[in-house]
Amino acid sequence: MKILISGFDPFGGEKINPAYEAVKLLPDSIMGAEIVKMEIPTVFHLAAEVLEEKVREVDPDVILCIGQAGGRYGITPERVAINVDDARIPDNEQKQPIDEKIKEDGSDAYFSSLPIKAMVEKMKEAKIPASISNSAGTFVCNHIMYQILYIIDKNYPDKTGGFIHCPFIPEQVVDKPNQPSMNLVDIVSGLEAGIEAIIERYGKEDVKEIGGTIH
């Protein structure tokens, strides 16, 4: 099995993005699966172009993207991506689409094809705070998750894919009072546990566990 895992570059003047920093620290092999790592730009559409080019090059079985979500306390696999860009702030090329469809011929939404509940369960077993997220937002993270699932739906039905958000790391919140963070070592441990769950349940249905929210 081959897993392509990407992380975003630093965004908005930040010197670091925990997403790609964690990806870089992952082992090159997990449970016998080859881990292919790459950095993608925090830019609407360009991120997808770069990622799809890599998919064609390495032909992975699983496509997994990692992004940061400031304000979250744990690692959060995303359940769904919606077909809209509505950027509250500009991306790294100062693009700020508002109420724009990502793909005119795409579904209104695509659900992750990863075993997100098994992933959360495995992370918790590793003593890493984790939960399912039911909204990836409307910025570049939702955009790339939607694009992954769009190309799988249209071109690669034998592949699976999805997205995980990770918290800020401590050095990012020094000047951000009351913002939660997680150290990079724990983020890496959580991602590795999540990847193990992907491998273990590859080709199988997700576990039936409570993972919903009231609001």
Helices (H), 32-92: 46-58
The H or E element spanning position 7 is: strand 2-8
**R_g (Cα) of the chain, nearest Å:** 16
Q: Give the integer Cα–Cα distance in Å for 160 and 145.
A: 12
The pair of structure tokens assigned to 78 is: 């995303």
Among all residues, which ones are annotated catalytic?
78, 141, 165
Please report the sign of the dihedral spanned by the C-alpha atoms of residue 149, residue 151, residue 157, residue 159.
negative
Q: Is the dihedral of CA 2, 137, 25, 147 positive or negative?
A: positive
Pick from 134, 70, 143, 83: which is nearest to 109 by CA? 83
